[in-house]
Structure 1
């Protein structure tokens, strides 16, 4: 049901948090995380690209 599905911004926010954790813990670089998201999940942009885009909208 649609009312139980997460909102797109909730999914992106969670993905950004996970990507930041991966980078902060030295597991991978931002570039590698973005590439993995594009290739592995089929997203048009990586999580850090979405983060930059969202930050520019807020400012």
Structure 2
């Protein structure tokens, strides 16, 4: 298993990376600039979405 990978079962695998939120979009989506300067789309899920927490541009996630 590589650094940053999390296995959630036989078929499901997720990568975990740190980045800076650059833009907040609708429906719990946002743009994140990773440490290697790539920009990806992120989303909120689970307890953050359930409790209606707001993620604003600026913090590192």
Q: Please give the range of the TM-score, normalised by the shorter of the 2 chains.
A: under 0.3
- Greater helix share, structure number: 1
TM-score, length-scaled by structure 1: 0.22
TM-score, length-scaled by structure 2: 0.22
- Greater strand share, structure number: 2
Compare CA radii of gyration and give the structure with the larger one.
2
